[in-house]
Amino acid sequence: MSRRFGRLIGKNKKKANEIRKKTGKTTMLDENTEVRFLGRGWLLPLFLMGMLVLYLILFFGERGFMFWFTVSGYLLLSLFLFFLKRPYLVIGKDFVESRRFGGVFKISHQEIEKIIMSKDTSTISFNVKRPSWSFSKLFHRMNITLMNEKLLTFAEKHQITVEHRGN
């Protein structure tokens, strides 16, 4: 199926689902939907808050404009990183997408070498020169068990090797 025809089908399915939703009927299932796993990055905001507390202790005697500007800057940056810049993994039809520190990366299934799963972590290794992506229950605060299930079906669909480690 060509890309244009696929977009046309998606557009028509979206319109039909809107009409079905208005009439109270159930929507048509779309097998091409993306699954998105949102996490919570807490390590860097915690480090910035620690630096803020250290700055408050060391320079509390100097209460000038630059002191309060620096304090508010550290506070706003840590709150921004905690609430708005959340780590995520999107598992699509033939790609995975994630936000790394350098930006958003979308990787096709041909570039994935293997997926390593354990009880608390999930790692995606690539066959191109690129660092592997690791998602941890402790550091990323994601639902790793559900993520592993979806990654397993993605790997079976595209013949990607899967390793199970640990528990």
Q: What is the pLDDT of residues 88-118, one digit of tens each?
A: 999 998 899 999 888 899 999 999 999 999 9
Residue 102 lies in a domain: yes
What was the pLDDT predicted at 148? Answer: 94
Per-residue confidence band for 128, with pLDDT thresholds at 50, 70 and 90: confident
Same domain, 116 and 156: yes
CA distance 151 to 162: 9
CB atoms within 10 A of CB 144: 22
| Long-range contacts of 130-133, Cβ-Cβ distance < 8 Å, separation of 24 or more | 133/89, 133/96, 133/98, 133/100
Query: Is 113 within 8 Å of 159 (Cβ atoms)?
Result: no
CA distance 162 to 150: 12
What was the pLDDT predicted at 167? Answer: 62
Is 163 or 25 the better-scoring residue by pLDDT?
Answer: 163
Number of domains observed in the structure of the chain? 2
pLDDT at 122 over 60: yes
Per-residue confidence band for 140, with pLDDT thresholds at 50, 70 and 90: very high
Find the domain containing 91 and state its range. 87-164
Same domain, 121 and 63: no
Residue 7 lies in a domain: no
